Amino acid sequence: MRDRFDVVIAGAGPAGGQCARDLAERNYDVLVLETEPEEQFPRPSNKSTAGTFPSAMTAFAIPDEVVMQYTDKVVLESPNDHYTRTQTGAVLEFADFKRFLVEDSREKGATYRFDSRVSAPIMENGEIVGVRYDGDREVYADIVIDATGPAAPLAKKLDVCNLEREHQAIGIEYEFENVAVNHDDYADLRDAMMLRLDHDLAPGGYSWIFHTGEDTAKVGLCYIQNGSHHKYAKEGMGIDDYLEYWLDSDPRFDDAEKISGTQAHRGSAHIQKPKSMSTDRFMAIGDTVPTIDPLWGEGIHKGMKSARAAAATVDAALTPDEPQTDADTLSVYDQLWHRDVAPKHDARLMMTELLYLAPNDRYDELMDDLRRTDSNTLEQINRGDRRAILELTHFSDLSLLAQYAKRRLNR
């Protein structure tokens, strides 16, 4: 007899784990296949900055036990200035958070198979009916969900995603102690998440310091491998080199040391418009789509929201006496994604590209712009409000807008 479930999910990250939680709670027979061995899950290197907001904690019933530090402000830094905004947040212990999702979904009835690498879809009559994993092992399902992130072994073979290298963001982070989070020459970063725009440190991207209590912090940077990165990059330097360069040049790290027992956290995601998200009997969620916030890189809340939208779509498709798993039925997920997960995605992508096209002196001006505008302007920009974007636009930005328009025409 065939090994069969209602739903098979590839990947046990935040999106895959949350989707399993929601489906198991609805009493669906769900299987999650995860590449990593259970005793090593999650691997130390496979982690995230894990900064999110109370709305995510509440919406998905995430316990306080997985929070390293609650923060009460967001700080934006430029090379010579900064802007502080009151905004509560939560810095998660990512490993504990991922393990919580697994444990909670298991308690609700989900099945997990660790050390199980998904390699290919099983096709019948042009439709996916299951997946092949660990070489020749097979499992079948009414609906298959790819939550593997940029690897996307199923979504790529089904021509659902079109992840492009020039839109790939790569990042590195370490956990440090003895960080001067209240240095005289910089903004007060106690109980703060700080994002720094500075091409000297992160060409075509940004760096960060997330306070995790006392004198400890998560410190890292990322950049998108796009034209802006190539324009501002230093020859021969990779992402590890840029982090070391920042650590050596910023006095806040003069006495900083990597916390014993911690390793580098590395990751990648794509900042681009999804090609599609579903087809017959199949959906892609989380960073497989991709779903990460294009402006500030927040992916946990977005990924979990995409998981919830997919679970709701599964429920609607499998509830009838005759399940409807065709592409038209599952396209409801695409609609929910654009409505609830990433509304105004095009406008936010435009703002992202303009932001990273800007030179360093424009970042200094941006801090002043944010101070003179309404306190809600940054929030409106985050929502993709084009009028708010225009509020921060200067006559001198015409050349920047021309560069953006030229790139769009070339694409």
- The two structure tokens encoding residue 377: 């302007």
> What pLDDT is attached to residue 47?
58
Q: Range with the lowest mean pLDDT among 212-216, 223-227, 334-338?
A: 223-227
Answer with the residue of higher pLDDT: 44 or 147: 147
Let me know: does 222 contact 269? Beta carbons within 8 Å.
Answer: no
- Based on the fold, state whether residues 290 and 234 are members of the same structural domain: no
142 and 62, same domain (yes or no): no
pLDDT (mean) for 336-342: 93
pLDDT in tens, 353-384: 888 889 999 999 999 988 888 767 777 777 77
pLDDT over threshold 70, residue 312: yes
- Given a cut of 70, is residue 295 above it in pLDDT? no
Quick one: 68 and 43 in the same domain?
A: no
Nearest to 99 by CA among 174, 34, 175: 34
Domain shared by 129 and 245, yes or no: no
Mean pLDDT value of segment 174-201: 97
Q: What is the mean pLDDT of residues 83-96?
A: 92
Instruction: Give the mean pLDDT of 156-180.
Output: 91
Mean pLDDT of 203-208: 94
Residues 43 and 67 in one domain: no
Rounded Cα distance, 127 and 10, in Å: 17
Alpha-carbon distance values, 189 to 306, 360, 372 (Å): 31, 21, 22
Instruction: Tell me the CATH number at 101.
Output: 3.50.50.60
Q: Which pLDDT score is estimated for 290?
A: 83
Q: Confidence band (pLDDT; 50, 70, 90) for 74?
A: very high
**Residue 353 has which token pair?**
């590209």
Q: 377 and 389 in one domain?
A: yes
Percent of the chain with pLDDT over 90: 68
Token look-up 């199949």 returns 282
For residues 87 and 105, membership in a common domain is answered with no
Q: Give the number of domains in the chain.
A: 3
Spatial distance between the Cα atoms of 356 and 358, rounded to a whole number of angstroms: 5
Domain end call among 341, 363, 378 = 341
Task: Print the domain residue range for 222.
Answer: 51-92+166-269
375 and 389 co-located in one domain: yes
pLDDT at 272: 83
pTM of the model: 0.92
Least reliable range by pLDDT among 41-55, 139-153, 290-304, 327-341: 41-55
Q: Helix, strand, or coil here: 263?
A: coil
Mean pLDDT of 212-221: 96
Percent of the chain with pLDDT over 70: 98
Same domain, 308 and 245: no
Give the pLDDT mean for 113-132: 97
* pLDDT of res. 411: 66
| pLDDT at position 46 over 80 | no
User: Cα–Cα distance between 203 and 359 in angstroms, integer?
Assistant: 10
Residue where one domain finishes, among candidates 269, 303, 323: 269
Residues 113, 372: Cα–Cα separation, whole Å:
54
- Co-location of 30 and 130 in the same domain: yes
Average pLDDT over all residues of the chain? 91
At residue 98, the pLDDT reads 95
Contact 187, 194 (CB under 8 A): yes
Does the structure show a pLDDT above 70 at 45?
no
pLDDT in the model for residue 11? 97
The full length of the chain comes to 411
CATH code of 248's domain = 3.30.9.10
- Displacement of CA 243 from its chain's centroid (Å): 20
Average pLDDT over residues 320-338: 96
Tell me, yes or no, whether 260 and 374 share the same domain.
Answer: no
- pLDDT at residue 397 above 60? yes
pLDDT the model gives residue 347? 82
Which of 269, 299, 318 terminates a domain? The answer is 269
Residues 131 and 155 reside in one and the same domain: yes
What pLDDT is stored for residue 48 in this prediction? 67
Q: Most confidently modeled of 34-43, 49-58, 210-219?
A: 210-219
pLDDT computed for residue 404 by the predictor: 75
In the prediction, which pLDDT does 377 show?
Answer: 75
Decide if pLDDT at 249 tops 80.
yes
Cα(101)–Cα(27) distance, integer angstroms: 17
